[in-house]
């Protein structure tokens, strides 16, 4: 168990925090969330040209930097703090990871370099209208590489250049018969519709496939393990991102109560407020610790990886949302207004709480794995 990051990792975090503080103020977040795309392609190019973040966990053989889940977790944590509006989670955390886990060496060499450079925006389409987050929720069928069905809640699905689709062979269920396919964003027979969601900082789309031609990624019907591994990595990254957002809310809330005066003294001087701030600190730090441990467990291929992943997501879901509630309450009446920025993080907390499974879902998974 590592209880601290290396000096290099802390330096990396410092660079990211300064960069995102400058490039993603809430004024920029509000501007981008009001657009149909939800992000700006020029700013996306600058992000990758200056820091190369899209290449962090992609192996050097495929045009990346070859770092692990810990470094990727640092990136998404800092993005979560800044509420960065960019197709990073969809293109790097979901799509690139799926290609790494499911594709052949030739396919990785073909697809990953352009994602690593940021030239190709990709996403992973796996969720459907049934709202399930595991393999049992995949009902879309693939017959002779023709895809028919619907995918929903696809992050950046309306703007992605490349879509990695999870489908199954007819007559199969569960982990059996799953296959990955790549589809161009402008493929004939594909209809993409932007969904109206509560969290406008992370755009989602509904994709309808009618005999859409897909290119098989990896081996047909053998994608069950690759899908499970991809979901594990994505869940760990989401937990780290949520921990970053919760930490930002806690810090800004402390700054507010130290500044806000009531009855001649700062709100932070009242005992009840001290208790609330202490509770928030403990909750946020434990959420960060759980997320960090899950990332380290993945890199070390630890025996308790699946339990650590479920614990990290369950705890981060509870903590992020509760911190958002505390942040609004501490600000009093102004906390509920549109002009106050707190609601931006609160809405992200709520959407992230349910994405990839809520706390109840992951606690159930954790107990099942403990019993096994």
Exposed/middle/buried for residue 294 (C-beta within 10 Å: 0-12, 13-18, 19+)? buried
186, with CB counted inside 10 A (0-12, 13-18, 19+), is exposed
220 — pLDDT class (breaks 50, 70, 90): very high
Instruction: Look at residues 174, 201, 221 and tell me which one is the last residue of a structural domain.
Output: 221
372 has pLDDT over 80: no
Residues 142 and 232 in one domain: no
Task: Compute the mean pLDDT over every residue in the chain, rounded to the nearest whole number.
Answer: 94
129 and 217 in a common domain: yes
CATH of the domain at 359: 1.20.140.10
CA angle at residue 218 from 212 to 220, to 5 degrees?
Answer: 65
Q: Of 221, 256, 281, which closes a domain?
A: 221
For residue range 79-92, what is the model confidence (pLDDT) as tens digits? 999 999 999 999 99
Q: Is residue 140 located within the same domain as residue 236?
A: no
Mean predicted confidence (pLDDT) in 138-154: 93
For residues 125-152, average pLDDT: 93
Q: Exposed/middle/buried for 27, CB within 10 Å: 0-12, 13-18, 19+?
A: exposed
Is 290 a residue whose pLDDT tops 60? yes
Note whether 363 and 317 are within 8 A (CB): no
Indicate whether 147 and 214 sit together in one domain.
yes
In a shared domain, residues 212 and 80? no
Per residue in 244-255, pLDDT tens? 999 999 999 999
pLDDT at 3: 64
Residue 30 has pLDDT above 70, yes or no: yes
**What is the domain extent for residue 340?**
225-371
- Tell whether the model's pLDDT for residue 51 goes beyond 60: yes
- Domain count of the fold of the chain: 3
Instruction: State yes or no: pLDDT of 2 exceeds 70.
Output: no
């Amino acid at each position: 168990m590592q209880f601290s990051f290396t000096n290099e990792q802390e330096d990396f975090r410092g660079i990211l925090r300064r960069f995102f503080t400058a490039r993603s103020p809430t004024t920029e977040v509000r501007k981008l969330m009001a657009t149909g795309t939800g992000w700006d392609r020029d700013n996306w190019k600058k992000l990758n040209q200056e820091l190369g973040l899209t290449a962090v966990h992609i192996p050097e053989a495929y045009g990346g930097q070859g770092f692990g889940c810990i470094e990727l977790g640092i990136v998404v944590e800092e993005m979560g703090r800044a509420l960065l509006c960019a197709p990073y989670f969809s293109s790097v955390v979901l799509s690139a990871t799926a290609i790494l886990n499911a594709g052949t060496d030739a396919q990785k060499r073909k697809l990953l370099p352009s994602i690593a450079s940021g030239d190709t925006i990709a996403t992973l389409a796996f969720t459907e209208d049934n709202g399930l987050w595991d393999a049992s929720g995949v009902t879309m069928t693939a017959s002779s590489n023709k895809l028919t069905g619907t995918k929903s809640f696809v992050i950046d699905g309306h703007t992605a250049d490349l879509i990695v689709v999870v489908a199954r062979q007819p007559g199969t269920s569960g982990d059996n018969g799953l296959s990955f396919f790549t589809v161009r964003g402008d493929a004939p027979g594909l209809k993409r519709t932007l969904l109206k969601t509560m969290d406008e900082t992370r755009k989602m789309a509904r994709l309808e496939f009618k005999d859409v031609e897909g290119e098989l990624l990896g081996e047909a019907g053998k994608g069950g393990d690759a899908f499970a591994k991809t979901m594990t990595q994505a869940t760990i990254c989401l937990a780290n991102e949520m921990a970053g957002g919760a930490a930002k809310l806690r810090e800004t809330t402390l700054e507010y109560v130290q500044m806000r005066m009531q009855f001649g003294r700062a709100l932070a001087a009242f005992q009840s407020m001290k208790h609330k701030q202490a509770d928030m600190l403990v909750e946020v730090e434990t959420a960060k610790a759980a997320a960090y441990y899950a990332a380290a467990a993945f890199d070390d291929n630890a025996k308790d990886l699946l339990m650590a992943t479920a614990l990290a997501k369950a705890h981060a879901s509870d903590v992020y949302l509760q911190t958002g509630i505390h942040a609004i309450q501490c600000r009093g009446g102004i906390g509920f207004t549109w002009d106050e920025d707190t609601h931006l993080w609160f809405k992200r907390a709520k959407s992230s709480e349910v994405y990839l499974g809520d706390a109840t879902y992951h606690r159930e998974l954790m107990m099942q794995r403990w019993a096994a």
